[in-house]
Amino acid sequence: MPTSPVATPAELADGRQIWFFDEQPTTRTVHDERPLEPRAGGSQLRWDRLTATWTAVAGHRQTRTFKPPSDECPLCPSIDGRLTEIPAESYDVVAFENRFPALSTVAVGEATGEPFVSRPGRGRCEVVCFTSDHDQSFVDLPPERVRTVLAALAHRTEQLMAMPEVAYVFCFENRGEEIGVTLQHPHGQIYAMPVLPPRIESLVNAADAHREATGDCLQCAVLADEIADGSRVVAENETFVAYVPYAGRWPYEIRVVPRRHVGTLPGLTPAEMDDLGVIYQECLQRMDGLDDAGPVPYIAGWQQAPVGREDTWHLATEIFTIRRAPGRLKYLAGIESGVALWVNDIPPETAAERLREAL
């Protein structure tokens, strides 16, 4: 069984926190020599009375780094003459506070009341670098590095959920310029939010309604039904099952669910963490095997328990791509962007069959 990585905290020049996750015991002396301006903040959450949802307004993000050349990548290790966000010559996995956060502990302003309700955008946004190799991709990482990344996500989730202003922690990864990625270095992000985002709130409401009616977990019930049906199951191992959702919205969408009822990444056992790394990476390989048009652009996110609901929630990982065919992307139609009624051109059963055949 792999050992847990060594987590070493440090501080960047503008006061932001950084954590090094080393696979081997390492003595680190971290000193960020950059003359940085005070860190950005000042985002605001505004309440939309018509939809009963929050919108984050963060004007300072307009100046964030946008598609730099590889020799100016801010996520690569620092070298003589080029200092980056990572003040070290090498690293395994690193997590640090985003320099241009949508939510921040240094949010300013006061809450306002009716008719225009707002509150400071308190929270935290972090970047997680999966490797120091700029040209790598998560799908190609060795198993021990995948395990280190998952351990880092679990570590950060546990600490962020303990912050008093945090209601929800969302870990996610984007890959591909088609998705909107502006930094090509392999990395993910973590948002610690003071409110429940709309999709999670919808999942909470559905889960609560099911539990009130039956006394059971909705995700457990759906998983059992998908296993029994079998037509949309893509992959499985001893502790996880990956399937295409019956009402999937995206051309190719995979939901990875633990067989055991567990709410968060920190709640997984070491064996479950190992199995999650294997099946998650396999799902990415199956995505890439769909066609010869190059690496598939995707978004992957871990739907963890809202704070305080760890016992009643069931963890899931969602992976989807906007590529519907070689050279063709799924653009949101008017009814999808306008009123959120999704139209999927690929039946989920067909998507599952193609994904099963992709390796």
Q: Indicate the annotated binding residues for Zn(2+).
A: 73, 76, 134, 185
Distance between CA atoms of residues 203 and 224, nearest Å: 18
CB distance 54 to 131 below 8 Å: no
Answer left, alpha or beta for residue 123, where phi above 0 means left and psi between -120 and 50 means alpha.
Answer: left
Distance between CA atoms of residues 254 and 318, nearest Å: 6
* Sequence-ordered list of residues with C-beta below 8 angstroms from that of 279, at least 6 positions apart, any chain: 235, 236, 237, 240, 242, 256
CB distance 133 to 93 below 8 Å: no
Query: Is 261 a residue of the active site?
Result: no
Q: How far, rounded to the nearest angstrom, does the alpha carbon of residue 225 sit from its chain's CA centroid?
A: 26
3-state secondary structure of 256: strand
> Which of 31, 155, 187, 261 is flagged as catalytic?
187
CB distance 172 to 221 below 8 Å: no
DSSP 109-123: S--B-TTS-EEE--S
- Positions annotated as catalytic residues are 187
